[in-house]
């Protein structure tokens, strides 16, 4: 199922066939720098089962319009009035506008659902913080060691 898409990318539900691409992503130390230690294959399989194949999913596969796996998008309930959104991309797709496009797609989805959008990131993760600010998210403070940015989407 496609969650949302634009001309260049689509966010879809994950499937078991995503395991190898997901493992390549989550075992990359550069990708995981601000998240967690790199994942083993077993940890990746557990993550796929618990976050990607859960109902409802917590994360969605991100792929190009040609079907190339870019990484994944985070989109799930954060609290009663908000959805958390985010992205984890292969380094080959950094600095190419995909995170901005995913942020646009996911904030539009939150708005349609009548929810605010929240981005959490490590305080040192300046690229994610810049994307949040560029998309008019406001800094709310620190929670659980992460900086929290919120965009009021409800009208």
Question: What is the pLDDT at residue 144?
Answer: 87
pTM for the full model?
Answer: 0.94
Distant-in-sequence contacts of 67-75, Cβ < 8 A, 24+ apart: 69/18, 69/21, 70/9, 70/98, 71/25, 71/31, 71/98, 72/14, 72/22, 72/25, 73/3, 73/11, 73/102, 73/106, 75/3, 75/11, 75/106, 75/109
Question: What is the pLDDT at residue 138?
Answer: 96
Instruction: Per residue of the chain (155 residues), give pLDDT as tens.
Output: 999 999 999 999 999 999 999 999 999 999 999 889 999 999 999 999 999 999 999 999 999 999 999 999 999 999 999 999 999 999 999 999 999 999 999 999 999 999 999 999 999 999 999 999 999 999 999 988 899 999 997 65
Question: What is the pLDDT at residue 34?
Answer: 86
Exposure pattern of 35-70 as b/e (b: 16+ CB <10 Å)? eeebbeeeebeebbeebbbeeebbbbbbbeeeeebb
Q: How far lies 151's CA from each of 48, 75, 104, 117, 148, in Å?
A: 28, 14, 11, 5, 10
């Amino acid at each position: 199922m496609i969650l949302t898409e634009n001309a260049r990318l689509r966010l879809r539900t994950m499937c078991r066939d995503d395991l190898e691409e997901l493992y390549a992503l989550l075992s990359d130390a550069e990708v995981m720098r601000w998240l967690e230690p790199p994942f083993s294959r077993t940890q990746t399989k557990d993550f796929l089962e618990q976050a990607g194949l859960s109902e409802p999913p917590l994360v969605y596969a991100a792929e190009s319009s040609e079907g190339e796996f870019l990484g994944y998008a985070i989109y799930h309930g954060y609290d009663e009035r908000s959805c958390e959104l985010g992205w984890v991309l292969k380094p080959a797709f950094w600095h190419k506008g995909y995170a901005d496009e995913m942020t646009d797609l996911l904030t539009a989805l939150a708005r349609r659902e009548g929810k605010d959008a929240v981005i959490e990131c490590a305080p040192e993760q300046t690229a994610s913080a810049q994307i949040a600010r560029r998309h008019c998210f406001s800094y709310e403070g620190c929670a659980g060691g992460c900086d929290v940015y919120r965009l009021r989407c409800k009208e």
